[in-house]
Amino acid sequence: MLALPNALTLMRIALVPVFALAFVLPGDGARLTAFVVFCIAGISDAFDGMAARRFNASSDFGRMLDPIADKILVAVALMMLVAEGTVRQFNLTSTTGVLGLLKLVPALIILAREILVSGLREFLAGARVSVPVTVFAKFKTTLQMIAIGAMILTPLADTFVPGLPAVTYSAVAYALLWIAAALTVYTGFVYFRAGLKHLHAAPRDVP
């Protein structure tokens, strides 16, 4: 349970409330701290997999917790960005409210996919089926982290990308989030298709 890969996964979960706290605190220093914490948590996702392979330290505990840690980090980051208004900028009383609301779509797609995949993983685990992570899934995760990280830095765009208008920076970051959302749909479909192959007639559990 405390092998290096699992320790990195546990650290990633522990960093989520640190990220959330730094995100809501005022000041550029707090926002930069939130960005650094998010990056450390995101990079640890790659390192725990590498460590598991390097030291042959894979475990059922790690396989269970790793995707949970990833989903918590992404979900909290997206919800914080939505609450702040970085992802959504709309006024329900204005005529542009619906168009503004559409800005939420990529975040909703990503969150919905995570819920779908969690359910499919549970089903496939019960069927003793393992679905390997594809190259597209890894690329999606990387791009998703880059997009969210860029959006976290939106208030500091003038400092980190001098000469680039803040509107342009935000548009690029948002475009990356849309691309990540599109890849999310594709990889979610791959998981769903894999689940359909293992469906069989059986009594449904009553929740």
**Radius of gyration for the alpha carbons in the chain, expressed in angstroms and rounded:** 19
Q: Delineate the domains of the chain, giving CATH numbers in brackets.
A: 4-196 (1.20.120)
**What is the distance between the alpha carbons of residues 162 and 159, in angstroms, rounded to a whole number?**
6
Q: To 5 degrees, how large is the angle CA 75–CA 79–CA 7?
A: 35
CA 76 from chain centre, in angstroms, equals: 8
Q: What is the pLDDT of residues 159-200, one digit of tens each?
A: 878 878 878 888 888 899 999 999 999 888 887 887 777 665
Answer yes or no: pTM beyond 0.85: no
Closest C-alpha to 153, from 129, 173, 137: 173
Q: What is the pLDDT of residues 37-76, one digit of tens each?
A: 999 998 888 787 777 677 666 666 667 777 788 889 999 9
Other C-beta atoms lying within 10 Å of the C-beta of residue 57: 14
Averaged pLDDT for residues 140-153: 91
Contact indicator for 77, 37 with CB cutoff of 8 Å: no
Q: How far is CA 139 from CA 26, 27, 161, in A?
A: 33, 32, 24
